[in-house]
């Protein structure tokens, strides 16, 4: 497989919208960047594709305690680092060989590059917060090179 497509989702807070599950159909993996809300969200996402998830600051209970607060993984030749709140990032990304940082928490979708590292916050597909959009993101990795795109829902 030359290209891996990863669905990025965060801040569902117990609400997995049908628009989000539809958009994630066909992805190779799903990464949830925390504030999941309950274990049924994880079960529903795992039915779509292999799932990686980290615990957010609003995730409590035995199901949440079983999740890491951060995760480093390799997919498609790229090294990814997942955590809920990017402001808690305490890692030398270049020294660790990280190419992509995936976070949530702010509910504000964002794609940026800093010092050669791609940062992706998919925003929130959960309950709307303020006037922020309902969104998720996709990460495509081709031969170790990553590119991201946002999907904003008109809801």
Q: Which two tokens stand for residue 110?
A: 């964002």
- Rounded-to-integer distance, Cα 17 and Cα 122, Å: 14
Contact 82, 52 (CB under 8 A): yes
Q: Which stretch of DSSP H or E encloses residue 139?
A: strand 134-142
Q: Categorize the per-residue pLDDT at 130 as very low, low, confident or very high, splitting at 50, 70 and 90.
A: confident
Residues paired with 14 in a beta bridge: none
Q: Which two tokens stand for residue 10?
A: 């965060």
Share of the chain above pLDDT 90, in %: 94
Domains of the chain: 3-153 (3.60.21.10)
pLDDT tens figures, 49-67 = 999 999 999 999 999 999 9
Q: Categorize the per-residue pLDDT at 1 as very low, low, confident or very high, splitting at 50, 70 and 90.
A: low
CA angle (87 as vertex; 133, 76 as ends), nearest 5:
75
Query: Average of pLDDT values for 102-128?
Result: 95
């Amino acid at each position: 497989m030359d290209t891996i497509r990863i669905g990025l989702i965060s801040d569902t807070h117990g609400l997995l919208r049908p628009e989000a599950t539809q958009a994630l159909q066909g992805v190779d993996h799903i990464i949830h960047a925390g504030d999941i809300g309950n274990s049924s969200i994880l079960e529903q996402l795992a039915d779509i594709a292999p799932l990686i998830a980290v615990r957010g600051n609003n995730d409590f209970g035995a199901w949440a305690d079983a999740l890491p607060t951060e995760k480093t993984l390799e997919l498609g030749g790229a090294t990814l680092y997942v955590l809920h709140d990017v402001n808690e990032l305490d890692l030398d990304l270049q020294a660790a060989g990280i190419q992509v940082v995936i976070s949530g928490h702010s509910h504000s979708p964002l794609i940026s590059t800093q010092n050669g590292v791609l940062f992706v916050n998919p925003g929130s597909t959960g309950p709307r917060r303020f006037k922020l959009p309902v969104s998720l993101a996709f990460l495509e990795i081709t031969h170790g090179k990553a590119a991201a795109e946002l999907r904003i829902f008109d809801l």
